[in-house]
Amino acid sequence: MEHQFFKDRLSAYFDNELKNEEHAIVQQHIEGCNECQVELKQLEKIENLFSNKTELSGNDYWETSAQKIESALEPSPKAEIVEIVKPKSKGLWWKLTGVAASLALVALFTLEEKKQHDDFIPDTISNEVQDIYAPTPQAITIDSFKQETVEVTTAPVENEIESDDENETVTNNETIQAPQKPTVESQPTPQPVQKTKKRIVLNSASKEQTPTPAKEKLRFEEFENGGVQTSNGNIDALVKSEEQDADISIRGGRSSAVELSDADSIVNALSEKVQQSKDRKSARAKSSSLVPDSEENYHNVLTTPQESISQKGITKNSELNYWRRKVTENKERLKLYSKKSVQYLKPIRKDASKKKNKSAALDIGFTYKQIFEGYYHVALLTNDSLEEKQAIGYLTKYADSLTENYSSNALYYLQLYKTKKTEIESRENK
Amino acid sequence: MSKNNWEDSARSSVSSSESKSDEQKLIESAQNGNKTAFGKLIRMHQKRLFRFVYGLVNSFDMTEDLVQETFVKAFEKIKTFKTGYAFYPWIATIARNSAFNLIQREEKKESLDKLTEVGFNPQTVELGALDKLLDDENKKRLYKAISALPVKYRTVFIMRNFEKMDYAEIASYLKIPPGTVDSRLHRARQMLLNAVKDLL
């Protein structure tokens, strides 16, 4: 009876599937039992026999079989990748309209005193840059921050005249809050603004995967003004926020304006800047059509022949500058996400139902794409293999980050890039 | 969890004529839509996969279909495959799922006595088209012995012997207790031992 007990466990013992104690007991029995030892050897032989002596032969058959399977394969997955997911801009224009309308109402009451600040744009443009692109953010001084703030507080009215300027002033105002905080002693309402901004940065990803015309345009406008690194958040803030958010921004600016005593010097400084900003506006008007203001237009810009760009008066350097700035901005944006958020990228593929994960992942994926776009253009312009590697690296990250749709898009962009590069190379060879 | 363990063990036991890095290159190429690269992957793994699937379904025609279906599915989903992992465990999982779906359907059609060990007689088994892939009489005997096993013993034996899955993995996959895996495997081995004793 006892022997049968151990015999029944021989198979599991042979497979090393018994628990430690049981294994030891069975082993002890086997050492003293010839019958079990013989059976164990037979198990081993059976195992080897069926593992090693059951390989199939017949080479011709396998080749035919492989060819048969190959012919049954679907066409290359690449062939399916044609469609680009269009940006979902539904409802954004309504929000923008709402913000603009509320600001316009405020503007009616303060219009008269604003005329002199009409075209205010921070004075950070170097004289060398004559075209569309803005100076580096480092060129912005604390003074200019203060002046901008004053501008916001006193002249939100511009919107009625030119909506672009409205956007600039509001976004600048909001972004300025962070750097100004340590220098200004008593800022009455810094916290609400800060909170609003944080919330918006998070939400911005969840609702939108691709740039909308409005967002992209605003981003560019801000870029022109030497906007700060976290520009996307600011743009998102403008786009996403309701009238209430806009009011908070303006109130924030007004309160900091109280800190400034020398109003005359500010007025003088502003008047000097008016002419410069007008010059820049005219340059911008020429080139605005080249700025990708939506996913669709982005596609068009990608495929725009180089000649047409040069015809519109944009120099290669300024274009390079723009795309490099885009890379830098978005790399900074990536830093906004904690490591935890980046880790969300993995679970998102398995469990897309978690909204929090999804929004973080979407935004990170989108940012990867933005960086890719930057490197993409830089690589095309400079023909630098390192830049190309970077572009492809970020493209891969973008493709990996999300669903198959995005991967398809990424592959599509890669294809487009290769085609474009070949075109350029063949043109250069000629 | 158990599936991962199995995949790990299967990963380490991958026996391919080409090195892993070559396989990875082929996978990456196939992910970019290269059918030729995928064709090489098919040639690398189809024999092993065929043997595994035949062991489960015990029918040459069904095995052919299942292997083809597996590779077609794999090519469709190749973009979801995580590079850095071995290819065989992945396709083996696809094939196993398809095979068990088929077995479950077939089981319902078969009479109950086929599912028991009564009438285990390897000598009466006909290998059919598989015969041409076996160049040795002993091999034919081994396959006849496997084919003669009742399906509940055969599946457990094949998963353990061909794919080196552990008891917990087999149990979770077949939805039976690990103890049952142990007893079925033990019984399968006893039957095979009796059938091919003279070859040992």
Where do the structural domains in chain B lie, given as residue ranges? Answer: 1-109, 111-200
Of A215, A222, A369, nearest to A302 (Cα)? A369
A73 in reach of chain B (CB within 8 A): yes
> Cβ contacts (< 8 Å) between A74 and chain B: which residues?
72, 75-76
Measure in Å the smallest separation between the Cα of B117 and chain A Cα atoms.
Answer: 18
Stretch 24-43 of chain B: residues touching chain A, C-beta under 8 Å: 32-35, 38-39, 42-43
Is A79 part of the contact surface with chain B (CB cutoff 8 Å)?
A: yes
Backbone angles phi, psi at B191, to 5 degrees: -65, -45
pLDDT at position A191 = 43
- Ramachandran sector of residue A285 (left: φ over 0; alpha: ψ -120 to 50; beta: rest): alpha
Tokens of A185: 């002693």
Is B143 an 8 Å CB contact of chain A? yes
DSSP assignment of A384-418 = -HHHHHHHHHHHHHHHHHS-HHHHHHHHHHHHHHH
- The CATH number assigned to the domain with range B111-200 reads 1.10.10.10
pLDDT of residue B45: 92
Per-residue pLDDT band at A130 (split at 50, 70, 90): very low
The tokens for A169 are 């002033």
Q: Token digits for A252?
A: 């924030």
Average pLDDT over chain A, rounded to whole?
59
Place of tokens 């509940």: B152
ipTM over 0.85: no
Mean pLDDT on B11-34? 71
Task: Quote the tokens at residue B45.
Answer: 């793994």
Nearest to B196 by CA among B159, B148, B135: B148
pLDDT mean across residues, chain B: 81
CB of A363 closer than 8 Å to CB of A337: yes
pTM: 0.43
- Give the CA distances from residue A73 to residues A32, A66, B51, B69, B72, in Å, rounded to whole numbers and listed in that order: 59, 11, 22, 9, 5
Using an 8 Å CB-CB cutoff, list chain B residues near A15. 160, 166-167, 185
Residue range B151-181, pLDDT digits in tens:
889 999 999 998 888 898 899 888 888 889 9
**Which CA distances in Å does B161 have to A53, A270, A363, B6, B51?**
12, 84, 47, 13, 11
Alpha helices in A212-242, H assignment, sequence order: 213-224, 231-240
Region A300-324: mean pLDDT is 60
Give yes or no for a contact between A124 and A165, defined as CB atoms under 8 angstroms apart.
Answer: no
Which segment, A16-20, A100-104, A114-118, is predicted with the most confidence on average? A16-20
Question: Measured between CB atoms, does A54 come within 8 Å of chain B?
Answer: yes
Cα A72 to Cα B68: distance, rounded to the nearest angstrom: 8
Cross-chain residue pair A73–B192, CB shorter than 8 Å: no
**Burial of B137 (C-beta count, 10 Å sphere; 0-12/13-18/19+):** exposed
Domain ranges, ordered by start, for chain A: 2-55, 87-288
**Between vectors from CA B23 to CA B21 and to CA B28, what angle results, nearest 5°?**
95
Of A47-61, A79-93, B127-141, the one with minimum mean pLDDT is A79-93
CA distance B185 to B198: 21
Strand ranges in B52-104 using DSSP code E only, listed in sequence order: none
Q: Are the CB atoms for A65 and A398 separated by under 8 Å?
A: no
Distance separating alpha carbons of residues B199 and A52, to the nearest angstrom:
13
Domain made up of B1-109: CATH architecture: Orthogonal Bundle (1.10)
Residues B133 and B131: their CA atoms lie apart, in Å, by 5
- Residues from chain B that touch A57, judged by Cβ atoms under 8 A, are 133-135
What are the Cα distances from residue A382, in Å, to A291, A308, A386, B53? Answer: 19, 18, 10, 54
pLDDT at A339 over 60: no
Structure tokens at A126: 């170097």
Asked if B78 reaches chain A (Cβ–Cβ under 8 Å), the answer is yes
Residues of B in contact with A61 (CB under 8 A): 132-133
User: What's the whole-number mean pLDDT along residues A361-379?
Assistant: 79
Which chain B residues have a beta carbon less than 8 Å from that of A42?
193, 200
* C-beta of residue A338 within 8 angstroms of C-beta of residue A198: no
**Above pLDDT 70, what percent of chain B?**
83
Q: Report the C-alpha gap between A387 and A320 in whole angstroms.
A: 12
B68 → closest Cβ in A9, A50, A68: A68
Read off the pLDDT of residues B90-135 as tens digits, 9 standing for 90 and up: 999 999 988 888 877 766 655 444 545 556 777 777 788 888 888 8
CA nearest to B147, candidates B95, B94, B191, B102: B191
Ranking A120-134, A344-358, A369-383, B120-134 by mean pLDDT, the lowest is A120-134
| Predicted confidence (pLDDT) per residue in A14-39, tens digit | 988 888 888 888 888 888 889 889 88
Encoded tokens for A160: 């009625």
Q: What is the dihedral of CA A197, A201, A202, A204, to 10 degrees?
A: 120
Q: What is the amino acid identity at position A204?
A: S
Residues 6+ apart with CB under 8 A from A153: A250, A253, A254, A256, A257
| Closest to B46 measured CA to CA, from B96, B91, B94 | B91
Q: How far is CA A262 from the centre of its chain?
A: 41
Residue closest to B52 by CA, chosen among B23, B115, B95, B4:
B95
Q: How far is A164 from chain B (nearest CA, A)?
A: 43
Residue A273's H or E segment, with its range, is helix A263-287
Cα A23 to its chain centre, rounded Å, is 56
Average pLDDT value for residue range A162-172: 39
Q: Which residues contact A18 (CB under 8 A, 6 or more apart)?
A: A9, A12, A26
- Any idea what DSSP says for residue B85? S
Cα A172 from Cα B176, distance rounded (Å):
66
Q: Is residue A122 a contact partner of residue A148, using CB atoms and an 8 Å limit?
A: yes
How far is B167 from A258, CA to CA, in rounded Å?
76
**Gap between the Cα atoms of B94 and B71, Å rounded:** 9
Give the pLDDT of residue A118.
Answer: 45
Query: Which amino acid appears at position B75 of this protein?
Result: F
Q: Residue B185 is inside which H or E element, if any?
A: helix B178-195
Angstrom distance (rounded) from CA A212 to CA A294: 5
Contact in structure between B173 and B62 (CB atoms under 8 Å): no
d(CA B184, CA B153): 5
Check pLDDT > 60 for residue A379.
yes
Of A249, A287, A291, A5, the C-alpha closest to A149 is A249
Quote the tokens at residue A242. 């309701």
